[in-house]
Structure 1
Amino acid sequence: MSTSASADPSSDQQRPPRRNPHAMGTFTSMVLSTVVVTAVVLAFFALVARPDTVARPSVDVPAVVTEARRSTGWQLSQLDGLGEGWVSNSARLEPEADGLRTWHVGYVKDQEYVALDQTAKATDGWVTAQTKGRTPAGAMTVGGVAVDSYTDPRNGDCTLVRRGGDALTSVIETTGTCAEAAAQAQKLSPALR
């Protein structure tokens, strides 16, 4: 039998296995990959359209108030001529506090808001619900008609209430002062009576 020189088995055990240089990344490669991923995310973020303002849905108040007048028989009002930038975002006839049908129309402009609520034979509970915890601020006159004013002690926002007895009771709620609410109430069509 011929014998060949065999490798020394102990020499394989003494040499550690060769490490793959790509198996463990370096700190530099980790930082570079983080920078690349961040750049890709920022690129997508920059490409996404973000509008400066949110489009407000506009409501055709004259059409809605005409239908509400037909169904109730009430002489319901709307606000006309509030000025540039005011948009109606709600107009509806719905049940409200104390189960009374209520005409509601709301207008917005930037961070300002004006709303009109009207009902027939309003109860004290209905008026309390409409004034939303605002405190009585006294009586005032709007276009020769006496109204009660209520203010929010936190921010001075005002609500005006014209009690109609057997006729319609009207509530004008604003995010402004009572002087601003009175000016807006004079734009009611038909006017307060």
Structure 2
Amino acid sequence: MLPQITEKQARRINAPARNMIISMVVMLLLIIPVLWLMPQPNKNPYRPTVDVPVVAYEASREAGYHVAAAEQEGWHYNYARWNTGAADGINYWSSGQVTPSNHFIELVQAQDANPTWVAQQVGNAVPEAQVQMAGTEWEVRSQVDPDDKNKITTNYIGELEGTTVIMMGEAEAPEFESLAEATVAYLKAPSSTASPTPSSGIG
């Protein structure tokens, strides 16, 4: 025969399950408003704001030459600065730009650079080719990341307006060429670093 239980015993057996369901409903009622009020993820990732004309103007005054600060449509700077105090005594301009295809290219520029300084900047990569871009000859060096063989950094080294300019990154060749053209054109007419304008806020 099947065991028989009283109504009171049945209520005691069902009570824990009923209490659990009630607790879950209360918890959901508390969580849903919190989730509703939480800010949604920003579909546009944060981009640091760099006032390139102002930074480049100040850097050019320190450097004694016009630093390369070309701006292109669809590209954006995520940093730009003048670097001093290196042990080798070579001060230099450096900037980083994100390309339209979301690649990153770093540009460094120095006057009176020597082979040792250049080698340090490109991780001792050895010369492997010479290419012409924007009417200028660029030496190409590349290096493979020892921890990731698919990560190859390409370096382009050129002499522009009495300075050494190095472009480095994992971007495709057309993007390096675009930056080379913009940089060469800019250094021939460095509008942002030649002198302050009333609207630039430099004073």
Same topology, TM > 0.5? yes
Instruction: Tell me which of the two structures has the higher relative contact order, counting C-alpha pairs closer than 8 angstroms and 6 or more residues apart.
Output: 2
Pair 101,35 (structure 1): closer, same or farther in 2 beyond 3 Å:
farther
Determine whether 1:59 maps to 2:50.
Answer: yes
- Closer, same or farther in 2 for the Cα pair 1:183/1:124, shift >3 Å? same
2:73 aligns with 83
2:81 maps to which of 82, 92, 95: 92
Aligned residue for 2:109, secondary structure, equals: strand
The answer on 1:115 being equivalent to 2:103 is: no
For structure 2, the residue ranges without an aligned partner over 5 or more in a row are: 1-10, 145-149, 189-203
Query: Can you list the C-alpha shifts for 1:9-45, whole angstroms capped at 9, x where unaligned?
Result: xxxxxxxxxxxx99xx613322442353245334423
Moved more, 28-37 or 176-185: 28-37
Equivalent runs, 1:173-192 vs 2, <5 Å: 173-188=168-183, 189-190=186-187
Query: Residues 45 and 131 from structure 1, CA distance in 2 versus in 1: closer, same or farther, beyond 3 angstroms?
Result: farther
Cα distance change, pair 61–28 in 1 and its aligned pair in 2 (3 A): same
* Offset, 1:117: 0.7
| Distance in 1 between residues matched to 2:97 and 2:156, nearest whole Å | 16
Cα displacement (A) at 1:133: 6.1
Return closer, same or farther for 1:41/1:172 CA change in 2, 3 Å cut-off.
same
1:30–1:89 CA distance, 2 compared to 1 (3 A) = same
* Equivalences for residues 1-193 of structure 1 within 5 A: 26-38=16-28, 40-49=30-39, 50-80=41-71, 82-84=72-74, 86-95=75-84, 98-109=88-99, 111-132=102-123, 136-153=127-144, 154-163=150-159, 167-188=162-183, 189-190=186-187
8 Å Cα contact 1:102/1:119 also seen in 2: yes
Count residues in correspondence: 167
SS at match of 2:118: helix
Q: What is the Cα deviation at residue 140 of structure 1?
A: 0.8
Q: Is the 8 A contact 1:97 1:129 kept in 2?
A: no
1:187 is paired with a residue whose SS is: helix
Instruction: Look up the equivalent residue of 1:139 and give its one-letter code.
Output: Q
Q: Which has the larger radius of gyration?
A: 1
Aligned in 2, Cα 1:138/1:42: closer, same or farther, shift over 3 Å?
farther
Per-residue deviation, 1:57: 2.2
| CA distance in 2 between partners of 1:127 and 1:92 (Å) | 18
What is the CA-CA distance between 1:157 and the residue it aligns to? 4.4
For structure 1, list consecutive stretches of 5 or more residues without a partner in the other structure: 1-20
8 A Cα contact 2:99 2:175, kept in partner? no
Question: Structure 2 length normalisation: TM-score?
Answer: 0.67
CA contact (8 A) 1:114 1:172 kept: yes
Which consecutive aligned stretches of 4+ in structure 1 deviate over 6 angstroms post-superposition?
none
Partner of 1:6: none
